[in-house]
Amino acid sequence: MYLNEEMNCQDTALILAVLLLATSQRMAESCRGPGPRFSTRHPHKTQVALVYRQHIPNMSEKTIGASGPAEGKIRRSDTKFKDLVVTLDQNVVFRNEEGTGADRMMTKRCQDRLKTLALMVVNRWPKVKLRVIEAWDEDGNHGRDSLHYEGRAVDLTTDDRDEEKYGMLARMAVNAGFDWVFYESKHHIHASVIADDEVSMGSGCFPKDSTVTTHDGEVLKMDELKVGDKVLTYDRDTGARKLSDVILMMHENADTVANFVKITARTENGHQSIQRQVTLTKNHLIYKHESTLPDRWHPRAVFAEDIQLGDYVYLNSYEITNSTDFAAAKVTAVHSVEGKGVFAPLTAEGSIIVDGVAASSYAVYHNEYISHALFYPLRLLWRWGFRWSDQPTTTKSISGVHWYPGSIFHIANAMLPRGSLNP
């Protein structure tokens, strides 16, 4: 399934290259020396201070799994400059030695982590505030490819400049959600974050209140779903309802607030009319009906943001009609909404029924066939009995994105023509 005439030789070459690079990238990370195989992040927050020159996670800052690769300097004249935010938090003191306000400027994710850390500092040390001595750098004062040039890094102290606090400050920065923390100097710590577009990459997801149906008919919310659960989905080729294992949570973060597209669709079958609403991020793939015959299964995977009024999507109708597995339903409303939680379950089938609507497991890249092929190694490992949930250490970044789709995104982003991905 999935590997058909829609894939050409160039597509095949891309798949092989990305799989090879993603696998070698992770193998390199796992061979860095002592420590857990996949990541040093632990689900339980610890209060053990970092020691001088220690960094968490135990890998290079620009490695996928830490803060990720540099994406290039941001200058005031660049279009990306408007994405930087100005931090005015009263719990943070800024050195601002340049007098330009540059030390208050950073990415939104960096600002969010900084605000969290500032509250932790005040709670732990009353009357002491977090101090930023360097954030966005527009003057070239750091090394080549420094994340300071992108507003993704900050150098920190406490405003009392008590160096005995800095080891614990570094630990608190880890717990505050910075993606890489380095007790770099006896006079400050360094902390950085993944790029905001990587966070949005993981947002090819459903909110935590979205529901799926398991093998025994139980309805579960996304934040209740576990790897190994069998959920209702469709055979992508035939449209037949079937059960498929959840083999991976590609993104799993119950606290993230994201923008979603809510799609309402209704069948036009008189007394058997059915209405469903599904909520998903704009870059998640959903199946659009491509035939003039309503009872024919003929889907095309499109981004949720491309669904328009009058389009047709597929609803799970079996429990009502007791005769057909699906019903082509006309889209009657499309709204932008804000929701909490981002969850992206990957099934072995590559598709899933969410809130009674047929959707793909995939996002970001428009070609579902290529996406499915790129995840073949995970399906193969699953058939061999490997379970990510059995591993003693987490395989996700602090944002909740699993390393495998994160690696594929970065590699594909570098190899594909600009505009191919929809982060």
- Residue-wise pLDDT for 122-156, tens only, equals 999 999 999 999 999 998 889 888 999 999 999 99
Q: What is the pLDDT of residue 202?
A: 44
Q: Please give the angle made by the CA atoms of 319, 324 and 330, to the nearest 5 degrees.
A: 90
Rounded Cα gap, residues 178 and 333, in angstroms: 39
With cut-offs at 50, 70 and 90, classify the pLDDT of residue 341: confident
343, 228 in Cβ contact below 8 A? Answer: no
Does residue 165 belong to any structural domain of this protein?
yes
Rounded Cα gap, residues 112 and 210, in angstroms: 26
Rounded Cα gap, residues 115 and 349, in angstroms: 41
Q: Are residues 244 and 335 in the same domain?
A: yes
**Domain count of the fold of the chain:** 2
- Calculate mean pLDDT across residues 306-322: 79
Rounded Cα gap, residues 63 and 290, in angstroms: 42
39 pLDDT above the threshold of 70:
no
Q: Which SS3 state, helix, strand or coil, does residue 235 take?
A: coil
Rounded Cα gap, residues 203 and 283, in angstroms: 8
Rounded Cα gap, residues 110 and 177, in angstroms: 9
Q: Which residues contact 296 (CB under 8 A, 6 or more apart)?
A: none
Rounded Cα gap, residues 120 and 177, in angstroms: 12
Verify cis geometry, omega within 30 degrees of 0, for the bond prior to 57. Answer: yes
Does residue 30 belong to any structural domain of this protein?
no
Q: Which residues contact 143 (CB under 8 A, 6 or more apart)?
A: none
Residue 394 or residue 197, greater confidence: 197
With cut-offs at 50, 70 and 90, classify the pLDDT of residue 269: low
Q: Are residues 228 and 356 in the same domain?
A: yes
Identity of the highest mean pLDDT range in 133-147, 160-174, 227-241, 306-320: 160-174
Percent of the chain residues past pLDDT 90, beyond the cut: 45
Q: Which of 11-15, 131-135, 192-196, 262-266 has the lowest mean pLDDT?
A: 11-15
CATH number of the domain encompassing residue 352: 2.170.16.10
Which of 169, 198, 227 delimits the end of a domain?
A: 198
Q: Which residues contact 161 (CB under 8 A, 6 or more apart)?
A: 131
Does residue 167 belong to any structural domain of this protein?
yes
Which of 142, 164, 198 delimits the end of a domain?
A: 198
Q: Are residues 154 and 303 in the same domain?
A: no
Q: Which residues contact 88 (CB under 8 A, 6 or more apart)?
A: 104
Q: Tally the C-alpha atoms within 13 A of residue 30's C-alpha that lie toward its C-beta.
A: 11
Rounded Cα gap, residues 324 and 75, in angstroms: 57
Q: Are residues 165 and 49 in the same domain?
A: yes
pLDDT digits (tens, 9 = 90+) for 50-59: 999 999 988 8
Say which residue the tokens 């390393």 belong to. 403
Q: Which of 28-37, 67-76, 229-238, 341-350 has the lowest mean pLDDT?
A: 28-37
Q: Are residues 137 and 180 in the same domain?
A: yes
Does residue 376 belong to any structural domain of this protein?
no
Does residue 169 belong to any structural domain of this protein?
yes
199, 108 in Cβ contact below 8 A? Answer: no
- Nearest Cα to Cα of residue 54 among 164, 134, 174, 155: 174
Does residue 251 belong to any structural domain of this protein?
yes
Q: Are residues 194 and 211 in the same domain?
A: no
Q: Are residues 191 and 221 in the same domain?
A: no
Q: Are residues 336 and 281 in the same domain?
A: yes
Q: Within 10 Å of residue 255's Cβ, how many Cβ atoms?
A: 10
- Nearest Cα to Cα of residue 133 among 164, 179, 166, 109: 166
Q: What is the pLDDT of residue 387?
A: 78
Q: What is the span of the domain harbouring residue 72?
A: 44-198
Q: Which letter does DSSP use for residue 400 in this model?
A: S
Does residue 172 belong to any structural domain of this protein?
yes
Does residue 408 belong to any structural domain of this protein?
no
Q: Are residues 108 and 171 in the same domain?
A: yes
Q: Are residues 145 and 264 in the same domain?
A: no
Beta strands in 112-201, from DSSP E residues, in sequence order: 130-134, 153-158, 180-185, 188-192
With cut-offs at 50, 70 and 90, classify the pLDDT of residue 31: very low
Which of 198, 229, 253 delimits the end of a domain?
A: 198
Percent of the chain residues past pLDDT 70, beyond the cut: 77
Q: Are residues 127 and 151 in the same domain?
A: yes
CATH number of the domain encompassing residue 185: 3.30.1380.10
Q: Are residues 175 and 212 in the same domain?
A: no
